[in-house]
Amino acid sequence: MKRVLQLAAILIFSVNVFAQTPPGLDLTNYGVRIEPDKRVMTVLAALEAAGIDTSLTAEGENFRQKLKTDLLSTSPDLRQKLVVFVEQYKRRHPKATNAELIAPFVSMAYSLAPAPDLTDSPRSTDLPGDLLDVLDFAPLVREFYRRQFSQKIDEYVKDYQTAGTDLRPTAGAMVGELLDYLHTRPQLVSIERIKTESKDAKGKKTITQTETRERERRFYIIPEMLAPKNTINFVNVGDNYYAIVPPKTDLSQSEARRAYLQFVVDPLVLNNAKDIATLRAGIKTLLDEQRKRNAEISPDVFLAVSRSLVAATEARQIEFEKTNIATAQARRKIDGMKTEPEKLAVSAELDAVKKSLADETALQLSEAYERGAVLSFYFADQLKGLEDSGFDIAGSLRDIILSLDPAKEANRLAQFADARKRATLAREERRKNNPTQEFVVENPVTKKLLEIDQITRTKNYAESEKQLKQLLDANPSESRIHYALGRVASLSAESIADTDKRNNRLAEAKTYYTNVIRSATPATDAALLSLSYVALARIYEYFGDTGYAAKIYETAIKIGNVKDGAYNEAVAARDRLVKEQ
């Protein structure tokens, strides 16, 4: 009877967990916050009052209509001041699109103190970009907030928070994919060492001391209803990074990837600043050559290193993932073929896909090189060697930098000229056939898992398991698939009357849950690990090994009360076992 109750506990746990959306990353563990920013809201609403007309998402257009109704009460004198400022600004930038016109205003928003004050920040000089043309808009923003916007802003925030909730799934996918590729976790604390001077007790001798101060680093994803469609603005202010995105943006396929990579890479470059400094002359020579063609490229050597590593990571991660998917698909096709010519045709098709992906990477790296990321090809080569090793980029970067010979990077554009031409033609062909679709990263794992979850809910466990195993063949290191297989095995055991067969299914589930833990990387979702440990402990408990089960529950508890995890279940089970002893 006790074993039957334990089996029921396993099944109830599985059903309760998966009655909801499969757990995602706890983004706060990776420095990510998704929340609206009243400064940006106010600035863009003021631009709306001034008559700037940008192309918005469907959700943004709905909000715009609501805002327009509310703005009807704006005083004529205030509206006139806003209109005059914006019209004069437009005349100074006649060739700029509305999205380009708005970008400096977004940056200006981060020169202001948080609402309701919106006072000029003393850190405004740290902001990127040319803000001189729009800084004088700040007094009008304060007036607009005080006289008009503050009355409704809390109501608007609710709409923005809903938009933020919609961004979480793709934000989790973006963070997980990029960190898993780099085998690392972001540095969430910056350390500043400050020298201080004081007098001794007698007031004669000066004592110099070094104080260490820690500051949190955060990456903010800002849902913004009035952000132009298909446009992401990125602002870095000290230790805070802001990506301002329109509603419903698929962050895993957007420029937010580059912004988050910048957040991850910047401290790594800073940690290796001394070694980079020894290569300053060679890197500067590369930059000077590109600055002859584009004077807007920054001469900052450290910025060049950071941007190069970001560009290389973004391009290589896309190629690496797509190549793995294409290879797995080709392997499955070949397994189902009987004749050698058919198999050779599939292999030739795979080689063509790989070549096309490599060409696109060369084009992306070339474009980055011309924008000042003059080490992008070098870092891409180095990352290629690390992709299957599992080495953390944070621990490998110093060796990579010390192996750099800047002189060898001077001829990269010529070296990949042919590949660039092929990729350019292919890109133009794609745009011709589908003007709205770019060459973006395609990660079918999350979507496929959700589709299979719907099958599992119908209790068609055989079909779920079949599709999950196919997905696992293509993605053998994906922990979520192992977990889903464990869940299906656990649920299917419910309908098995034969004790031996039921136990075999639970043993299979145990193996899958163990695989989740064994394949964990620094980027593996803590909630997924928490759930896996508790599911595994319940199976050990069912088989009568309560001592080992208790230890596993303790391990789950040590992970902490992470969002979507199984902390409470682990504590309750641990306490129950203690009482039974």
Q: Show the domains of the chain with their CATH numbers.
A: 2-24+444-580 (1.25.40.10), 30-186+224-248 (no CATH), 272-433 (no CATH)
For 433, the token pair is 């056939």
Residue 413: CB partners within 8 Å, gap ≥ 6? 366, 369, 370, 420
Q: Examine residue 435 and say whether the peptide bond preceding it is cis (omega within 30 degrees of 0).
A: no
Q: Are 174 and 155 in contact (CB under 8 A)?
A: no
Ramachandran region, residue 493 (left: φ > 0; alpha: ψ -120 to 50; beta: rest): alpha
Give the integer Cα–Cα distance in Å for 370 and 50.
Answer: 37
Q: Are 41 and 159 in contact (CB under 8 A)?
A: no
CB hemisphere CA count around 280 (13 angstroms): 8
Number of C-beta neighbours around residue 342 at 10 A:
13
User: Does residue 424 contact residue 363 with C-beta atoms inside 8 Å?
Assistant: yes
Q: Provide the residue-wise pLDDT of the chain in tens; the chain has 581 residues.
A: 445 445 444 444 443 333 333 344 689 999 999 999 999 999 999 999 999 889 999 999 999 999 999 999 999 999 999 999 999 999 988 888 888 889 999 999 998 999 999 998 664 444 444 677 888 899 999 999 999 999 999 999 999 999 999 998 889 889 988 998 999 999 999 887 777 777 766 667 777 777 788 899 999 999 999 999 989 999 998 899 999 999 999 998 899 999 999 999 999 999 999 999 999 999 999 999 999 999 889 999 999 999 999 999 999 999 998 888 888 778 877 877 888 988 898 899 899 999 999 999 999 999 999 999 999 999 999 999 888 777 899 999 999 999 999 999 999 999 999 999 999 998 888 777 655 444 333 445 776 787 788 788 788 899 999 999 988 887 777 888 999 999 999 999 888 888 889 899 999 999 999 988 887 776 677 888 899 999 999 999 888 888 889 999 999 999 888 777 889 899 989 988 888 77
Three-class secondary structure of residue 58 per DSSP: helix
CA distance 552 to 195: 47
33 token code pair: 């916050």
Task: Give the Cα separation of 444 and 467 in Å (integer).
Answer: 13
- Helix orientation angle between 340-370 and 301-335, rounded to the nearest 10 degrees: 170
Residue located via tokens 């000077």: 288
Task: Return the number of other C-beta atoms located less than 10 Å from residue 496's C-beta.
Answer: 15
CA distance 551 to 553: 5
According to the model, what pLDDT value does residue 440 have?
38
- What was the pLDDT predicted at 8? 47
Q: According to the 3-state scheme, what is the secondary structure of 248-286?
A: CCCHHHCCHHHHHHHHHHHHHHHHCHHHHHCCHHHHHHH
Q: Output the pLDDT for position 284.
A: 96
Alpha-carbon distance values, 63 to 39, 165, 224 (Å) = 17, 16, 10
Q: The whole model's pTM is what?
A: 0.71
Please state, in angstroms and rounded to a whole number, the distance separating the CA atoms of residues 118 and 143.
10
Distance of alpha carbon 363 from alpha carbon 370, whole angstroms: 11
At position 152, the amino acid (one-letter code) is K
β-strands 189-199, 32-34 pairing: unpaired
State the alpha helices, DSSP H only, in 27-152.
38-49, 58-71, 76-92, 98-109, 138-147
Q: How many CB atoms lie within 10 A of CB 370?
A: 15
**Structure confidence at residue 444 (pLDDT):** 58
Please give the Cα distance from 432 to 273 (Å, whole number).
45
Closest CA to 492 of 512, 471, 516: 512
Q: How many CB atoms lie within 10 A of CB 93?
A: 12
C-alpha distance from residue 295 to each of 125, 372, 374, 512 (Å): 21, 10, 15, 56
Residue 126, pLDDT score: 47
State residue 439's pLDDT score.
38
Longest dimension (CA), the chain: 94
